[in-house]
Amino acid sequence: MSRKKDLRQTIQKSSVPLMFVLICAVCIPISGLSPSYLANEVVTRMGRNAFLILSLLIPIMAGMGLNFGMTLGAMAGEIALILVCDWQIVGIPGMVLAMILSVPVSVLLGIFCGKILNMAKGREMITSYIISYFINGIYQLVVLYLMGSVIPIKHTSIKLPRGYGIRNTVSLLSMRQKLDNLIPLKIAGIKIPVATFLVVALLCLIIVWFRRTKLGQDMRAVGQDMEVARDAGIKVERTRIISIVISTVLAGIGMIIYLQNMGNIATYSSHSQIGMFCIAALLVGGASVDKASIGNVFLGIILFHTMFIVAPKAGAVITGDSMIGEYFRVFVSYAVITVALIMYETNKRRNKNRAGKQLETEQNGEGGAS
Amino acid sequence: MTFMERLKEAVESFGLPRLIITGFLILLLIAAPIVGADLPTQISNIINRFSWNGILVLAMVPMVHSGCGLNFGLPLGIISGLLGATISIEMGFTGGLSFVMAILIATPFALIFGGLYGWLLNKIKGGEMMIATYVGFSSVSLMCMMWLLLPYHSPNMVWGMAGKGLRTTISLEGYYLEVLSKFLQINIGNLSIPTGAILFFAVLAFGIWAFLHTKTGTAMTAVGSNPTFAKAAGINVDKIRLISVIMSTWLAAIGILVYEQGFGFIQLYMAPFYMALPAVSAILIGGASVNKATIMNVIIGTILFQGIVTMTPTVMNNMIHMDMSEVIRIIASNGMILYALTRKTEGSK
């Protein structure tokens, strides 16, 4: 009986990944893409996105849900890259400098975000989502008006012709895939960005280690129950802010890795969708709003990005219109997030009801005894 | 001293961000003639835009009243309206009749979508706003595919080359372009008032106001302010919430049709995507909170929000030859939403 229940629960839990396996299994043959091309693309995207998606894990641990505010870190990373680009520091040193530069910006934004989220407990997700829009406004103010007029920008190649503001795209040719190609390796025609994977692996280790530290344990306690954690002497507010700051800093570094792979910055749009795609990928990997592991990240990237690559082609073959596939993958990304959010809320309510019923039966039992 | 205290109290109840925004708009209105912008034109712009957007903002009211929070799922209602508009044109209606038909056709869609949406929101009490946002997004992206796939044939709407798939923007020339705005329009020099559109808004706003004073309406307010108490008083909480969501969705459908008649185009595909945020911030600027909103909030909020949207580009451009209006709009509107979300509200959980 209980075994049957367990099986049902596991299937229910992994229903999203299973659905994606199904979608991929149907779409791959239809799309007609060669396996080696597909493998190449998935490996590239793994290197590109893994770091960014890993940055989502810590706020989930602290019970703050999906951090839609990771966009803040992405913006910090972009600002750092633009500056480094203007100073013409190239290659790996440029990347490292950009990462170092992004940290103080990320920390500031993270503290801001954390403080506001502490004022909006219970609706962290919608608030962090609006924060990302709000900061996007500030980002535009800085990049479009202050850079070149207040913040010195020397090179006309990245400045708008009017004399201030940054162009729509900033070329990162000097940094393009420098990290990916640092240790060149090809297996069976598949290019593997070894150095990027090493960085990602290091971050995974750090996350595993972090979970065992005092701070990590505190975060989990806060995530379980804020009041109990407070009674246990944990500074709840501070812990929550730290978790957001860490996430923002990691997102900033992740964005720099992402952009070095892309080879250029779309100044006003690179960051806008990044949060949504990262969150969708994590959820596809079987994570939920209150539980996510490193395994979810990698499974999610493989499944989500396979779908992402094959959907337009498959859509074009089936309907004769490539736009259908494009819209389809956007729809799937949103739908996955929607379903995950709904599942999380219904589960939360069910658990609450169950706890209430349990209490009721216990009380009834007591009443009967006396 | 007492005056200062009273002033302080007034500021507190009015809210600092709201005060800043009102002050900013007044400043713009004063600056406009100085920098050489024509004030009557500006004012008729504001009135015009008010008449386009008023009903979309009004669509927030029922859901806020029943405690469902801010209706970030507005795009769902907008889609019902778009379906009504396109089907009405497809069926060959023209002129004013096409507007009436669009409303009639949009209504059943709004009822069905609103019903499903309301049912869903009843399942996930407490997390409405986030899920509403994503329900809106998913439905918009689903409809992106549908606009391409549904069998539309009217040559005024589909792509010329392929002969199928709707265009991204469809002109309303010959259909219901300005049917409301031109009705009883008053023109005094550069000042023009779209009487018809404002009357239409007034009728709907009065309808909502009257509804909120009926038995069901009072029950809705009760559910919003204290669901436990409402339940104890024998009100069917889920049913009332469902009604409010359906009303909001229907108002959004009508709202987009009114917007289109003023704007002159039907915008499809990704256009409804970000339509919720301006409406949400407008009602908040007008003095609403996450669980409290009145018709007055709608009117004041829409005027203030649209005032800033229309005035900043002209004034800024004339003053410093630099168009920062977009950035100011983003910061002001999202800042307002953030402010509202961080207020402590009772009965929100």
The domain segmentation of chain B, as residue ranges, is: 42-272
Q: Which of B312, B326, B325 is nearest to B45 (CA)?
A: B312
pLDDT band at B343 (very low <50, low <70, confident <90, very high): confident
- Out of A24-28, A104-108, B40-44, B124-128, the most confident range is A104-108
Give the pLDDT confidence of B179-202 residue by residue, as tens digits. Answer: 777 777 777 777 788 888 888 899
Residue environment code for A243-280, b if the CB has 16+ CB neighbours within 10 A, otherwise e: bbbbbbbbbbbbbbbbbbbeeebebbebbeebbbbbbb
d(CA B247, CA B244): 5
Q: How remote is the C-alpha of A212 from its chain's centroid?
A: 22
Confidence of residue B345 (pLDDT cuts 50, 70, 90): low
Least-confidence region, from A93-107, A188-202, A232-246, B11-25: B11-25
| Contact residues, chain B, for A331 at CB < 8 Å | 138, 141-142, 144-145
- Alpha carbons B138 and A360: distance in angstroms, whole number: 39
Beta-ladder partners of B158: B166
pTM confidence score: 0.86
Q: Region A174-203: what's the mean pLDDT?
A: 85
Q: Which CA distances in Å does A333 have to A279, A281, A343, B142, B143?
A: 9, 8, 16, 11, 14
- Give the pLDDT score at B321: 67
Mutation pick from A327, A336, A339, A351 vs chain B, by most beta carbons of B within 10 Å, is A327
Tell me the ipTM for this assembly.
0.82
In chain B, residues 44-63 whose CB comes closer than 8 Å to chain A: none
Among candidates A122, A136, A338 on the partner chain, residue whose Cβ is nearest the Cβ of B134: A338
CB contact under 8 A, A127 and B127: no
pLDDT of res. B48: 87
C-alpha A327/C-alpha A315 separation (Å) is: 9
Of the partner residues B125, B135, B348, the one whose CB lies closest to the CB of residue A338: B135
**The dihedral formed by the CA atoms of A214, A220, A222 and A227, expressed in degrees to the nearest 10:** -100
Of A8-17, A70-79, A85-94, the one with minimum mean pLDDT is A8-17
Residue B269 CA to residue B149 CA, distance in Å, equals 12
Q: DSSP secondary-structure letter at B271?
A: G
Residue A370 has a pLDDT of 43
Q: Which among A358, A175, A140, A353 has a CA at the least distance from the CA of A257?
A: A175
- Whether A3 shows a pLDDT value over 70: the answer reads no
Question: Taking CB atoms and an 8 Å limit, are A144 and B327 in contact across chains?
Answer: yes
In terms of pLDDT, which residue wins out, B179 or A143?
A143
Which residue is associated with the tokens 């919003």? B224
pLDDT band at B349 (very low <50, low <70, confident <90, very high): very low
Q: How far is B331 from chain A (nearest CA, A)?
A: 5
**Which fold would CATH assign to domain A2-364?**
ABC transporter involved in vitamin B12 uptake, BtuC (1.10.3470)
Chain A residue whose CA is closest to B132: A338
Minimal C-alpha gap between B122 and chain A (Å): 10
| A170 φ/ψ angles, rounded to the nearest 5 degrees | -110, 125
Name the band, by pLDDT with cuts 50, 70 and 90, for residue B347.
Answer: very low
CB contact under 8 A, A134 and B72: no
> Higher-confidence residue: B234 or A246?
A246
pLDDT at residue A365, as a whole number = 65
pLDDT tens digits, A288-324 = 888 888 999 999 999 888 888 888 888 888 877 777 8
Residue B289 has what pLDDT? Answer: 79
Instruction: Give B-chain residues touching A334 at CB under 8 angstroms.
Output: 134, 137-138, 141
pLDDT, residue B254, reads 92
Q: pLDDT class for A53, splitting at 50, 70, 90?
A: very high
Residue A13 to residues A16, A66, A348, B95: CA-CA distances in angstroms?
8, 18, 14, 53
Mean of the per-residue pLDDT values of chain A: 86
pLDDT tens-place string over residues B288-335:
877 788 888 898 889 888 888 888 877 777 777 667 778 888 888 888
Burial class, A77, CB count within 10 angstroms (exposed 0-12 / middle 13-18 / buried 19+): buried
What confidence tens digit (pLDDT) does each residue in A253-292 have?
999 999 998 888 888 888 888 888 898 899 888 888 888 8
CB B258 within 8 A of CB B81: no
Parse chain A into domains and list their residue ranges. 2-364
Question: Does residue B321 come out as left (phi exceeding 0), alpha (psi in the -120 to 50 range) or beta?
Answer: left
Nearest CB to A334: which of B134, B334, B335?
B134
Nearest to A254 by CA among A242, A272, A271, A276: A271
Residue of A nearest to B348 (CA): A122
Distance CA B27, CA A280 (A): 44
Shortest CA gap A129–chain B (Å): 9
CA gap A221, A209 in Å, rounded: 17
Range from B35-44, B118-127, B244-253, B260-269 carrying the lowest mean pLDDT: B35-44
